[in-house]
């Protein structure tokens, strides 16, 4: 989303005057937004004035009783759908017993059962629990520093790894997220964004030069491999624009890490938990990272993050790292129920099939809407890049399409400079997909081609 200007607040006036959206929502929503803007920190970036009340499956109802089809799942969180009966039952059963115990101090069964499930799904033998994506990434930074005794990192342009100071050092998405904040030393390299190749090359004749930059440029001019603890990478860049690299890219980064004795950390916070088909998105590229980070969908709607590695790597001693809520009993119960549900529903195959049929249909829209420059994705992580006739980015039109979609009562979100993302609940039905695409087509028409 384009942020309001430096002195402009994201408040009722902004939604009314700048976006012309307040007439779309009801009186209760207006009242809540007015009060919220007065009392809650205004640093969030909200694209439209939705005030949620309840939800089921893929449908959210707002406080005035209006229903919206959710095509973003609370930013790739509600993979098993809202009000999933199996997750609700697991939470209720655990609530009857105990909500929290301070798992950093005591032992308990729910986080252990979840750890066994994670070991089975991921192949990693150890897990560290936390509560969010940024905390999982912070834990991975600390483990990498602790293990290698090196203190520099590599990540990629357009990447998003979180907003606390360690993960923010890796993040390289929007300058507003970084300005005025100090950082851990991180050198950024080019990601394989083939639609807008940063090196102005063409795939496949490029030979994946972008990945090779780490050796050819960074290790020669800026950062010795001897001082590099880890390379952090998203299997598909999420906030940066749903950018899917070609198959060889991750293999090449993996090779460079192995050859130079550097840890590879996969940030699967957005891509993990079957979002792209397999449990980890890295499986699509046949690459295994030394450390993987999970959050978002992991908790089935409750806050839950995890950092996974093998025991030879995660052999730090007691007292090095911990937190209050990691392994929370309710979140562990919800997480296990969510993973078991997704596993038994044969999610991987469904996500692959549905994802390719949605991408196919969005590509058909491309023939009628010249503002659609690119349709890309894996599984149910799909990006539509909006462009001007000269192929340059068009964030103004992108935001207009998002607002028209909201008026049509479908929820979509922006990412990257000029991309619309689709990341619906993985349980979305075929009929809901049809309806969602029909409404998206209307929104494209209304936003003008």
Ligand X SMILES: Cc1ncc(COP(=O)(O)O)c(C=O)c1O
Query: What span, in angstroms and rounded, lies between the C-alpha atoms of 358 and 392?
Result: 25
What is the token pair recorded at 39? 């009392």
Residues found in the chain: 449
**Total number of residues that touch ligand X (CB under 6 A):** 15
Q: Which residues contact 285 (CB under 8 A, 6 or more apart)?
A: 235, 245, 247, 249, 250, 251
What is the token pair recorded at 112? 């252990």
Longest dimension (CA), the chain: 61
Query: What span, in angstroms and rounded, lies between the C-alpha atoms of 405 and 65?
Result: 18
DSSP 8-class letter at 214: I
Q: Give the H or E element holding residue 445.
A: helix 430-446
Query: What span, in angstroms and rounded, lies between the C-alpha atoms of 415 and 398?
Result: 10
Rounding to the nearest 10 degrees, give the CA dihedral for residues 425, 430, 432, 437: 100
Tokens 């929104």 belong to residue: 443
- 331 lies in the site for ligand X, by CB under 6 A: no
- 275 lies in the site for ligand X, by CB under 6 A: no
Separation in Å, CA 67 to CA 58, 64, 131, 423, 428: 10, 9, 30, 18, 15
- 49 lies in the site for ligand X, by CB under 6 A: no
What is the token pair recorded at 382? 């799909």
* Residue 250 vs 400, nearer CB to ligand X: 250
Which residues 387-446 are close enough to bind ligand X by CB under 6 A? none
Distance of closest approach, residue 303 Cβ to ligand X, in angstroms: 8
- 132 lies in the site for ligand X, by CB under 6 A: yes
- 234 lies in the site for ligand X, by CB under 6 A: yes
* Residue 239 vs 252, nearer CB to ligand X: 239
Quick check: bond before 204 cis, omega within 30? yes
**Of 62, 267, 290, 432, the one binding ligand X by CB under 6 A:** 267
Residue 62 β-bridge partners:
52
* Residue 133 vs 326, nearer CB to ligand X: 133
- 133 lies in the site for ligand X, by CB under 6 A: yes
The window from 106-114, 241-249, 266-274, 316-324 that contacts ligand X (CB under 6 A) reads 266-274
Residue nearest to ligand X (CB): 133
**Of 47, 49, 162, 425, the one binding ligand X by CB under 6 A:** 162
**Of 58, 84, 169, 270, the one binding ligand X by CB under 6 A:** 270
- 186 lies in the site for ligand X, by CB under 6 A: no
The window from 60-68, 133-141, 181-189, 424-432 that contacts ligand X (CB under 6 A) reads 133-141
Q: Which residues contact 433 (CB under 8 A, 6 or more apart)?
A: 354, 357, 358, 424
- 241 lies in the site for ligand X, by CB under 6 A: no
Alpha-helix residue ranges (DSSP H) falling in 126-246? 133-148, 165-170, 175-178, 209-213
The window from 160-168, 337-345, 394-402, 439-447 that contacts ligand X (CB under 6 A) reads 160-168
- 230 lies in the site for ligand X, by CB under 6 A: no
Distance of closest approach, residue 280 Cβ to ligand X, in angstroms: 13
Strands 410-411 and 67-70: parallel
**Of 124, 160, 191, 279, the one binding ligand X by CB under 6 A:** 160
Radius of gyration of the chain measured on its C-alpha atoms: 22
Site string for ligand X, 281-320 (x = CB under 6 A): --------------x-------------------------
Which residues 23-42 are close enough to bind ligand X by CB under 6 A? none
- 382 lies in the site for ligand X, by CB under 6 A: no
The window from 32-40, 127-135, 258-266, 336-344 that contacts ligand X (CB under 6 A) reads 127-135
Q: Which residues contact 434 (CB under 8 A, 6 or more apart)?
A: none
Distance of closest approach, residue 108 Cβ to ligand X, in angstroms: 23
The window from 121-129, 157-165, 223-231, 244-252 that contacts ligand X (CB under 6 A) reads 157-165
What is the token pair recorded at 140? 């991975």
Query: What span, in angstroms and rounded, lies between the C-alpha atoms of 426 and 374?
Result: 23
* Residue 132 vs 158, nearer CB to ligand X: 132
**Of 30, 147, 161, 439, the one binding ligand X by CB under 6 A:** 161
Distance of closest approach, residue 70 Cβ to ligand X, in angstroms: 17
Binding positions for ligand X, rule: CB under 6 A: 75, 132-134, 137, 160-162, 234, 238-239, 267, 269-270, 295
């Amino acid at each position: 989303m384009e942020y309001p200007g430096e002195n402009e607040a994201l408040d009722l006036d902004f939604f009314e005057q700048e976006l012309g959206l307040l007439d779309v929502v009801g009186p209760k929503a207006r009242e809540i937004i007015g009060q919220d803007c007065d009392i809650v920190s205004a640093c969030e970036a909200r694209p439209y004035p939705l005030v949620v009340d309840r939800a089921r499956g893929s449908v959210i109802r707002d406080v005035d009783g209006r229903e919206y089809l959710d095509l973003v799942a609370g930013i790739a969180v509600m993979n098993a759908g809202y009000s999933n009966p199996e997750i609700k039952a697991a939470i209720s059963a655990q609530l009857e017993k105990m909500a929290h115990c301070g798992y950093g101090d005591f032992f308990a069964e729910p986080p252990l059962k979840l750890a066994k499930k994670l070991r089975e799904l991921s192949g990693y033998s150890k897990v560290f629990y936390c509560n969010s994506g940024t905390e999982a990434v912070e834990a991975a930074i600390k483990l990498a520093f602790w293990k290698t005794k090196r203190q520099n990192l590599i990540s990629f342009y357009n990447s998003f790894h979180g907003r606390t100071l360690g993960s923010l050092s890796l993040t390289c998405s929007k300058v507003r997220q970084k300005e005025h904040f100090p950082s851990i030393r991180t050198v950024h390299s080019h990601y394989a964004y083939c639609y807008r190749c940063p090196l102005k090359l063409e795939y496949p004749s490029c030979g994946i030069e972008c990945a090779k930059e780490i050796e050819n440029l960074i290790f020669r001019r800026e950062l010795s491999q001897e001082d590099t603890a880890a390379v952090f990478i998203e299997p598909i860049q999420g906030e940066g624009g749903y950018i899917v690299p070609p198959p060889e890219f991750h293999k090449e980064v993996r090779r460079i890490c192995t050859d130079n004795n550097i840890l590879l950390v996969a940030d699967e916070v957005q891509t993990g938990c079957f979002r792209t088909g397999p449990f980890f998105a890295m499986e699509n590229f046949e690459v295994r990272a030394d450390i993987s980070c999970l959050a978002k969908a992991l908790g089935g709607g409750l806050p839950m993050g995890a950092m996974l590695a093998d025991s030879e790597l995660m052999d730090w001693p007691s007292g090095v790292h911990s937190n209050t809520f990691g392994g929370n009993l309710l979140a562990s119960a919800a997480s296990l129920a969510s993973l078991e549900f997704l596993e038994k529903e044969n999610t991987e195959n469904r996500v692959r099939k549905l994802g390719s049929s949605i991408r196919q249909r969005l590509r058909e829209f491309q023939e009628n809407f010249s503002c659609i420059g690119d349709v890309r994705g894996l599984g149910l992580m799909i990006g539509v890049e909006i462009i001007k006739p000269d192929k340059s980015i068009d964030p103004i039109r992108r935001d207009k399409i998002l607002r028209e979609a909201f008026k049509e009562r479908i929820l979509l979100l922006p990412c990257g400079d000029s991309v619309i993302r689709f990341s619906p609940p993985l349980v979305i039905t075929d009929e809901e997909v049809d309806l969602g695409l029909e409404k998206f087509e209307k929104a494209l028409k209304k936003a003008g081609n």
